[in-house]
Amino acid sequence: MSSLLAVVALAGCAGCGDLGSMRSCAIRGELAVGPGIVLVQPGTLYGGEVRYAAEIGPDGRFRLELPDGGTHGLMLVVGEGYLYLPIEVEVGCDADTVVAARDGRALTASDDADLGDNPVLTAPRVTVGPAGQAVSVDAADPDGDLWRVFAHPVGSSIARPLTPPTDIVDEISPDGRYTGAGGLDAAAWLLVAMDHSCSTSDVLRVEPTTE
Ligand SMILES: [Ca+2]
């Protein structure tokens, strides 16, 4: 089954003035498909580190509050198969910046036609210990172009790259057990791996277990 996701980013801010404590810089998603995850980089697309994320609901909706407005790169992981859609938006701070599906307009991304080269996540675990919650998961990429594995505590705006088992060489991350994210607590976590071809793993939703 194949479907098209058409997305247009609508700037919701004409000017980010002195709004004091009412200032809120947020991205609101009204996509046609879900569930999934959106990962966000401050600055231009691929120009910075992924720091923020939000869960995309089954109805394709999400809302993500950011500390600042301005240019942000988004990676939307939704739809049949997993091929993320990269877009760049200007985030305003006097009204939500809306990212919405509009059939036949603006940016489009087809679903992934070849799932055989996608990264795969297995054996996810979120354990609860004296130092807080710790996340671990096995990652493997069939054609060896794994980029990063990210963890997102659901309900927060945080995205964290998990630590690979060995060094990242020439921006290619190794297969193996990824770990990290101590010091954060959540009722559930989302885990996703991305490669250099915009393919992704399944988005895993994992609840903590007490050891
Ligand atoms: Ca791959």
pTM over 0.75: yes
Q: Kindly report, residue by residue over 164-184, the tens digit of the pLDDT.
A: 999 999 999 999 999 997 778
Q: Tell how far the Cα of 149 is from the centroid of ligand 1, in angstroms.
A: 12
Whether the Cβ atoms of residue 72 and residue 88 lie closer than 8 Å to each other: yes
Q: Tell how far the Cα of 52 is from the centroid of ligand 1, in angstroms.
A: 23
Phi, psi of 150 (to 5 degrees): -115, 150
CA distance 14 to 8: 17
Residue 106's pLDDT is 36
Q: Tell how far the Cα of 195 is from the centroid of ligand 1, in angstroms.
A: 5
Q: Tell how far the Cα of 81 is from the centroid of ligand 1, in angstroms.
A: 13
Low-confidence ranges of the chain (pLDDT < 50): 1-6, 8-20, 103-108
Tokens for 24, please give them: 């809120």
Phi, psi of 210 (to 5 degrees): -85, 130
Domains and CATH numbers, the chain: 4-110 (2.60.40), 115-210 (2.60.40.650)
Q: Tell how far the Cα of 112 is from the centroid of ligand 1, in angstroms.
A: 12
Residue 16's pLDDT is 41
Q: Tell how far the Cα of 53 is from the centroid of ligand 1, in angstroms.
A: 22
